[in-house]
């Protein structure tokens, strides 16, 4: 059994890691940290984790074979640094190691990077694109929740060279994506039965989308216009993506391109009807539905995933499984909870 620790278990990504790892057949969760909650039992903070309870400590207290950090960016790289330096395999749920270009990171995140020397070795943890590199690295940068859906939605078309270099990503996110913290903005009374767009001046997840899609393109940079929206739901991201077809392709050809691209993937699934976010609730699936709009020549691709699972903790466990040479789906077999 691999001994695993979670740095900052007290957010939604952290608690979701604890939930999934508790039932994982090949690992033991041995240490969880928190800041203000240090000293409390995990079940005091998260009553649903009553069966997985242990004391929250300020630092990782047991020797661990594997570490996750679910801290915010900057703090995350800083806390992970000693583990990385010691050769402990690590997954960073934050954005610190996702962007290969340091100035891009520092422009979007407005901080100096705490350990830029580890950026190069880090692998962007989207197994559908980087499985073999993940297998060989000791540091995975877990993708952002929005880029996971958008990159998976557009990757087959971009790689196949059937679309132009401009993509519109209109994403509708559940509120848990905003994290677990005291705020009025994300209060129930403010957001219930309500919907709005935000970050219209630019969102930090956009450079990830650009980086990953551009790498797949043989025609240079892919430009993404990304507009996130808050939807009155707890979990889930529904992404609707629009791009102009650069050559005439039929719906059947597009279906083939998408099905081939994801043929062997356990969690990226091309589905036969428009997917709903609830069909992924609590599961690691990303559902994809491409449609050719013949009258306008636009390719529309809909994606649906659970932002806390495939968009965060589940992807982390999938990456861990690959890094440790375990069955890639271990701990992730539970079906979505619906309705």
C-beta of 15 vs 150, nearer to its own copies: 15
Which window, 18-26, 143-151, 257-265, 317-325, contacts its own copies (CB under 8 A)? 18-26
- Measure the CA–CA gap between 256 and 241, rounded to whole angstroms: 18
State the minimum distance, in angstroms, from the CB of residue 80 to its own copies.
26
Q: Which of 115, 145, 171, 286 is catalytic?
A: 145
Q: How far is the CB of 74 from its own copies (least distance, A)?
A: 22
Rounded to the nearest whole angstrom, what is the least distance from the CB of residue 203 to its own copies in the complex? Answer: 11
Measured distance CA(7)–CA(155) in Å, rounded: 32
Query: CB burial class (10 A; 0-12, 13-18, 19+) of residue 310?
Result: buried
| Sheet containing 139-141: order of strands | 56-57, 27-33, 2-7, 66-69, 90-92, 139-141, 123-124
Smallest distance, its own copies to C-beta of residue 332, A: 11
In whole angstroms, what is the distance from residue 143 CA to residue 84 CA? 18
Site for its own copies in 318-337 (CB under 8 A): 333-337
Query: Nearer Cβ to its own copies, position 21 or 80?
Result: 21
Judged by CB under 8 A, the chain residues 197 through 216 that form the site for its own copies are 197-198, 200-202
| Single residue of 159, 214, 240, 327 touching its own copies by CB under 8 A | 240
Residue linked to tokens 């216009």: 225
Nearer to its own copies, 280 or 318 (CB): 280
Cβ closer to its own copies: 2 or 169? 169
The SS3 of residue 199 is coil
Q: What SS3 string covers 7-48?
A: ECCCCHHHHHHHHHHHCCCCEEEEEEECCCCCCCEHHHHCHH
- Respond yes or no: is residue 286 known to be catalytic: no
Peptide bond into 108 cis (omega under 30): no
Site for its own copies in 254-283 (CB under 8 A): 269, 271, 273-283
Residues 159-198 that bind its own copies (CB under 8 A): 166, 168, 170, 172, 174-176, 178, 180-184, 186-198
In whole angstroms, the minimum distance from the beta carbon of 195 to its own copies comes to 5
Residue 1 binds to its own copies (criterion: CB under 8 A): no
Q: Say what the alpha-carbon torsion angle 131, 132, 138, 139 is, to the nearest 10 degrees.
A: -40
- State in angstroms the smallest separation of the CB of 301 from its own copies: 10
- What is the distance of C-alpha 23 from the center of its chain? 21
50 binds its own copies (CB under 8 A): yes
Binding segment for its own copies (CB under 8 A), chosen from 61-69, 85-93, 120-128, 236-244, is 236-244
Joined together, the tokens standing for residue 226 give 């990304």
Distance CA 140, CA 291 (A): 33
The size of the chain, in residues, is 339
Q: Which of 63, 117, 219, 225 binds its own copies (CB under 8 A)?
A: 225
**295 binds its own copies, rule: CB under 8 A:** yes
Question: Which of 1, 337 has the CB closer to its own copies?
Answer: 337
Stretch touching its own copies by CB under 8 A, among 16-24, 74-82, 107-115, 134-142? 16-24
Q: Are 153 and 301 in contact (CB under 8 A)?
A: yes
Residue with smaller CB distance to its own copies, 71 or 309: 309
DSSP class of residue 329?
A: T
Instruction: For residue 42, report the phi and psi dihedrals to the nearest 5 degrees.
Output: -55, -35
What residues are labeled active site? 145
């Amino acid at each position: 059994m691999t001994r695993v620790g979670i740095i900052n278990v007290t957010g939604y990504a952290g608690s979701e890691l604890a939930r999934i790892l508790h039932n994982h057949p090949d690992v033991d969760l041995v240490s969880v940290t928190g800041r203000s909650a240090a000293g409390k039992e995990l079940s005091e903070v998260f009553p649903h984790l009553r069966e997985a309870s242990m004391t929250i400590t300020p630092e990782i207290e047991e020797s661990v074979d594997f570490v996750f950090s679910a801290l915010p960016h900057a703090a995350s790289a800083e806390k992970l640094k000693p583990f990385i330096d010691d050769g402990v395999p690590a997954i960073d749920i934050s954005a610190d190691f996702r962007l290969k270009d340091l100035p891009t990171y520092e422009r979007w995140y407005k901080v100096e990077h705490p350990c830029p020397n580890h950026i190069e070795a880090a692998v962007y943890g989207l197994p559908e694109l980087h499985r073999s590199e993940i297998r060989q690295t000791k540091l995975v940068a877990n993708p952002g929740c929005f880029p996971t859906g958008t990159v998976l939605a557009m990757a087959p078309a971009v790689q196949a060279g059937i679309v132009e270099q401009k993509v519109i990503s209109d994403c509708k996110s559940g509120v848990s994506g905003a994290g677990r913290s005291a705020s009025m903005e994300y209060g129930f009374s403010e957001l219930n039965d309500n919907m709005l767009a935000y970050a219209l001046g630019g969102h930090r997840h956009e450079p990830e989308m650009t980086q990953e899609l551009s790498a797949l393109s043989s025609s240079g940079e892919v430009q993404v216009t990304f507009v996130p929206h808050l939807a009155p739901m707890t979990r889930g991201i529904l992404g609707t993506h629009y791009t102009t077809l650069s050559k005439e392709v039929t719906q059947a050809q597009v279906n083939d391109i998408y099905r081939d691209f994801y043929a062997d993937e356990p969690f990226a699934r091309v589905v036969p009807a428009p997917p709903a976010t609830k069909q992924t609730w609590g599961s690691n699936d990303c559902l994809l539905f491409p449609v050719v709009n013949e009258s306008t020549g636009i390719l529309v691709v809909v994606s649906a995933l659970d932002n806390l699972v495939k968009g965060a903790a589940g992807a982390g466990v999938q990456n861990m499984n690959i890094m440790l040479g375990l069955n890639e789906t271990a701990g992730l077999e539970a079906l979505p909870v619906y309705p």
